[in-house]
A and B are shown apart, each in its own frame.
Chain A
């Protein structure tokens, strides 16, 4: 069965955008880590995410360039990117990362939440890394060879990420009274962003039907079990709240993404086509 090409492209962007936005958030810690070794750890992890984002954006750009002209128009509405597209140019990974506005980004809301402090940062990674581990494990089986290959490669790195963030949740949760209180607060605050990780949007459903994408409902119980085990050891409680934030995959983002992109994209927007 023929898969609408733009849906595969959108699926790739969902994954790529998660990697870029979270990678960028982690890179904001560079030079500000609580101790040198953790500064290095986080920037290493950020680099892994950025590397994965690059592979995925390269694939997304290749897919976009192959689309027939009339299919290219409706995908993005960011003026800076549309300018390049209308000029007939092929796009590349940098165009996708630097010339899209917030409404064209497909990352989940969890990834764009601010760093705040070490506890909040570790909790965001903990929730996301655990998801990522099970997500890539499944994506390795994709009928799309490129996505499967990227998943296989990334899974090795993500295993280290999950381990790092889990260890920190335990250390802070089962730590001092102060660290326990603060990380429990972070868990409570960010819990509402975990539901979106498992939302099967239109694009997810289409890709699953074609054996390209992951069944998020299938991996959710593994995520829950894993999260609970670590939180138990950390003496932390799981919030009772069931209401979940969503909208990232459809381009409806929290106000934080705008500021994040202003920093990330500034140089390219101010000095178009500049290179290092």
Chain B
């Protein structure tokens, strides 16, 4: 029936799994899928997916795990193995350029610099407004409604917005 499912096919199917909090982003956009292996035997296909969690306490990871299982089992994979790989630690540097564009269109400011170019202890990122593009913005809080985002407000168009933190 479903024989010889390729790795590429599985990646395609994984691109339908979105972040439950930011549904415009797929798990591929986020860069959390580290590896995909596929084992075809007889008429069965087993998939081995390795993902790296974003933030330690991120509750979306459990939902994403379920999403991966559903996306693959519903398309004929007989068994889905999900492995968490902690090291090297996930970083926003693994987010795709496409993902960053989608974030901005959604109204969330994408990570404004590379994470491996860190700030001083009390420095703040200067984040442009995703709506009006003004750089005349200020940080309201380093923490937001989810682990990955901080809160800003635009001093020109007056709208509040979230910034996906450089991590």
Alpha-carbon separation in the docked complex, A54 to B86 (Å): 13
Tell me if A113 counts as interface (CB < 8 A to partner B). Answer: no
Residues in B with CB closer than 8 Å to A149 are 86-87, 89
Interface residues on chain A, number (Cβ under 8 Å) = 30
Contact with B along A30-74 (1 / 0, CB 8 A): 000000011011001101111110110000000000000000000
- Contact present for B143 and A41 (CB under 8 Å): yes
| Interface locus among A84-92, A155-163, A192-200, A248-256 | A155-163
- Contact present for B56 and A154 (CB under 8 Å): yes
> A157 with B55: in contact, given A146-B86, A148-B87 (CB under 8 Å)?
yes
Q: How far apart are B153's CB and chain A's nearest CB, in angstroms? A: 11
Interface residues on chain B, number (Cβ under 8 Å) = 24
- Contact present for A55 and B145 (CB under 8 Å): no
- Contact present for A163 and B147 (CB under 8 Å): no
Return the chain B residue nearest A170 by Cβ.
B122
- Contact present for A40 and B141 (CB under 8 Å): yes
Tell me if A218 counts as interface (CB < 8 A to partner B). Answer: no
Tell me if A150 counts as interface (CB < 8 A to partner B). Answer: yes
- Contact present for B143 and A51 (CB under 8 Å): no
Residues in B with CB closer than 8 Å to A148 are 87
Alpha-carbon separation in the docked complex, A60 to B147 (Å): 25
Alpha-carbon separation in the docked complex, A55 to B55 (Å): 11
Alpha-carbon separation in the docked complex, A152 to B89 (Å): 6
- Residues of B at the A interface (CB closer than 8 Å) are 53, 55-59, 86-91, 115, 121-122, 140-145, 147, 151, 167
Q: Which 10 A-B pairs have the closest CB atoms?
A: A51-B57, A51-B56, A149-B87, A149-B86, A47-B57, A41-B143, A37-B141, A44-B143, A153-B89, A52-B56
